[in-house]
Chains A and B, each alone.
Chain A
Amino acid sequence: MQRAALWRAGSIAIGLLLAWRIITVNAILYDADGHPRLPADATDVATLGALLRANPAEVAVLLILAEQHERSGDIARAAGAYEAAAQVAPVDRDALRLSAAYYLRQGRMGEAAVQLDRMTRQSGEYDRTFPVFLQLAAARDPAWASIAARDPPWMGSFIVTACRQGLDPALLAPLLQQRVTSRRVQAVEIDCVTEKLRAAGQWEAAYQVWINTLPRERLVDLGHVFNGGFELSPSGVGFDWKVAAGSERDLGHALDFPTTAGAAGKRALRVTYSGKRQSGPAIQQYLALPPGRYELAGLARVEGLSSVRGLQWLVRCVEKGGTTRTLGTTERFLGSSEWRAFASEVQVPQGCTGQVLQLEPVGLTEGTTYLAGTAWFDDLRLTRKR
């Protein structure tokens, strides 16, 4: 009994001693925010030395000493201390951040990138690490290439961030391709990169990036108009159909792809206009047509479509800066009719590398337009004329 009581009392005493030591050590090593800090005087340095001797795995001590060595110009010892800290605590946020900063100061990009990669994987501090990765990527630094080749879990977020912040989309295209191959790519990544390439006038590259993301079965019949039969729901990505975003109340129309009889295939596009003012195209698709003469054809059916001037499909050339000019229009759809075929001619001139196909009320760009009723479309296609 006595032995047990003594054992218990001893354990409590050791526990209290350890707790006291942790409190005092932490008070010396960390500031109020929990970050390592330097001692104010030499006494503390001596304390640090003693602490390190007592516990060589004390990361904060290693980091503080590393910085002191670096300040005094003892790079070799500084490097040793940072490396020791990184080895002792490979997932410690401060160890990773401070050693990464040290490697950056020394111009040792490879080691810095490795630490930043670990830091990003551990704590996901994108706001802190992505700006550095952005600069490494923009500089075509081999350190970046090495990290990117591993396709780390944060790469999707980096592609979207870098894309939105204006990194050359041509640099992002290979990263995206790598993620396509590993089947980790997300629609938001594809859409951002293709949009940026398109906006930069690199339509052919944008189209190539997009087709590289399509599954084999979708490549069998790409067509000049992709998914012109509306058999699959539009993805809104790249050169697929893009549907106007917003509520029916805001847009003045609703759009869906129900199964229907009398048209081609199973499904068709249905746009229901509420009679309200129209602010833009209900649906559109970017195109990358080579110069030449084309026939734009399809099937249409209208149900009580009422408007002053009607509804039509347009093909516009998209020029640098986003301005457009009309290359061809279909007939105007108005009133009511059963399914019927329509066709019109579109001429794509030399120098017009990118176009957009849009469904919109006639005169949308000229003034206020109102539209009520329902329009159906199916089997939309562009065929090159010889």
Chain B
Amino acid sequence: MRGPELSDAELVARMCARDEGALRTLYERHAGWMSVRLLRRCADRDVVTDTLQDTFVAAWNAAARFRGEGEVASWLWGIALHRLISRVRTRGPQGARLGPALLSPQLSDASAEDDVLLAIEYSDVGSALARISPELRVVLQATVLDGLTTREAARLLGIPQGTVKTRLVRARASMREELA
């Protein structure tokens, strides 16, 4: 696909053979967008920087465990999300500020011209999601969109696991109501 350039999976294979250049290339390809996504979930740059470092060190150590199923990008992102949770957790409650993806206070801060590409914004689901309260949406973001368990979501958001569960139930009910 990319001519003589190595694919992500080939880079990971080389990392198993302790090829530091491969790690460097992988970092160049993935650190940027990962830091953007992490910053959307945690507004503290220090925490995001630490998470990014943890992620690539973990990827280096766990390269042998990547079996080539699925995308390297998803594999790295999975590591990053879990590293972020443990970093936020070690900071303690109120230790790390949440990012816009988990905090968006305005119901719809996206202007129409931003989102030609995003028809979903104006679909039934999109408008329903935009109308439910931010507290509920955050829980949906963490569990449904980020694929975290309620336990992981609780750690990331700094709220009890029971609260995540009840909010998730309420969020589902609200969505159902909106879509009915």
Q: Do A and B bind each other?
A: no
